Structure 1
Amino acid sequence: MPDLALPGCGTTPLGGYLSALGLVRSVTRLFDQDATGYWRGQRFVLASRFGTLDELVTALHEGFVPEGIVSPWNAGSGFAGNGRNRTAEEALQWVRDSTNDRLAVLRAAVAAGDDVVRRGT
């Protein structure tokens, strides 16, 4: 398995660290169950079937399927529709309006979240 160093996934800031964890989770879930990751210095290295960054990016662009996890009770999630988090509200609307098959599970989760909010108000 080739090792692919990912300079954007450093140990700091926390977002870079969490990006690395999310990436290895996505790769093992969707593309290569034998993939692993490790830290070399402050940089994350992905050991998987992907030999180049371009191959990895193409696979994610064409085949990434997000998990169907939402948190409508979270004040910043956008489900409240109160204008406090326009970015989250716009992202939720984009998912609701999408017809992309890869978003079907997420769309169903958003619809369930909408139902929870409707019942709770």
Structure 2
Amino acid sequence: MSWVAKGFAAAVATGFLLVAAPQTTTAFSPYECPDEFICLYHDHGGAGSKLEVHDNTSDLRGVTGWNDKARSVFNSTSDDWCLYRDENYKGEFKIVSPGSGTNLVGNFDRSVTSLRQEPDGGCAA
């Protein structure tokens, strides 16, 4: 009989069987964003500093530290949002669907300058 089995048998015989308690850990929750906001993050995966946006924003140059800085986004609204590379909702755009979060890659990594809820005519309108 192995020493583990002997130890277990001795513990059972004496009534001193120790059971490890379950451990609880606080899980990292990426993309924390209040309901009805779209959030931009300085790092991929919803990490780093966060900007919570509730209204259309035509120029992030007026928001210190956010023009061309976002690396990920989460949309907690019930509407599509349009991210634009240029001010005043111009230039190349990316649509972020309700309830979705994503890393901004390629042309959009650190390139968002304006954003708005998708208008009736679509992001290109």
Say yes or no: TM over 0.5: no
User: Under a length normalisation based on structure 2, what TM-score does the superposition of the two structures give?
Assistant: 0.23
User: Under a length normalisation based on structure 1, what TM-score does the superposition of the two structures give?
Assistant: 0.24
Q: Which has the larger radius of gyration?
A: 2
